[in-house]
């Protein structure tokens, strides 16, 4: 591992899942949760929305950092061109899961890696296709009662009990959890950070 000694990596995210994924690379980092408006913009495509929010997160944290690499990430679950955010209620979670049942949807975890204060950056929007099993009403009800869909984009967590909902994936598994580690490693290398 080769990390520039005068640099620190900042994760601009409050997600415990992203924190765990980043820690698995054994890279020293700090967490500074960003304070931004995460509302969708009318007419904005899901990939554009994810990248805009990833960029906003990194840049919102930049003034709090003297010098370093700041990583902003935003994950969207999309089907039929619609973004499925975090369900506001058990009823909404059931509606989302019913919509995903027996179908393929896309998960995009956009990343904006900002070198501050030079204002150099790298961006990526890796996408993974996820196909769900057929879900019965009873299975959906049981999963929602587990509490796991709360605070999860698309109302499921592939790394938890939600794994049994998934028939297959095409693309990076870590991307669905919230941070594509292979793509991040390539981005870090552009700034002199060699993970291996």
Measured between alpha carbons, how far is 154 from 76 in angstroms, rounded to an integer?
Answer: 8
82 is catalytic: no
**Distance set, CA 72 to CA 53, 63, 127, 183 (Å):** 8, 14, 16, 14
With H, G, I as helix, E, B as strand and everything else as coil, classify residue 145: helix
Q: Which of 11, 155, 159 is nearest to 90 (CA)?
A: 155
Q: How far apart are CA 95 and CA 149, in angstroms?
A: 12
Tell me the C-alpha distance between 78 and 184, whole Å. 22
Catalytic residue among 74, 80, 119, 151: 74
String of b and e for 58-92 (b: at least 16 CB within 10 Å)? Answer: bbbbbeebeebbbbbbbbbbbbeeebbbbbeeeeb
End-to-end CA distance of the chain: 5
Catalytic residues: 74
């Amino acid at each position: 591992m080769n990390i520039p000694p005068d640099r620190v990596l900042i994760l601009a995210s409050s997600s415990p899942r992203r924190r765990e994924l980043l820690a698995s690379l054994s890279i020293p980092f700090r967490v500074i949760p960003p304070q931004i408006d995460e509302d969708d913009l009318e007419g904005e495509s899901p990939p554009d929305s994810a990248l805009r929010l990833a960029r906003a997160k990194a840049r919102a944290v930049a003034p709090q950092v003297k010098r370093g690499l700041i990583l902003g990430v935003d994950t969207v679950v999309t089907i039929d061109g619609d973004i499925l955010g975090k369900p506001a209620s058990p009823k909404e979670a059931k509606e989302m899961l019913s919509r995903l049942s027996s179908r393929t949807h896309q998960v995009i975890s956009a990343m904006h890696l900002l070198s501050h204060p030079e204002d150099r950056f790298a961006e990526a929007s890796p996408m993974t296709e996820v196909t769900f099993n057929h879900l019965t009403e009873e299975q959906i009800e049981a999963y929602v009662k587990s509490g796991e869909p709360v605070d999860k984009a698309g109302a499921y967590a592939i790394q938890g009990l939600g794994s049994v909902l998934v028939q297959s994936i095409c693309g990076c598994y870590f991307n669905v959890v919230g941070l594509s580690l292979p793509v991040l490693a390539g981005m870090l290398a552009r700034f002199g950070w060699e993970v291996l």
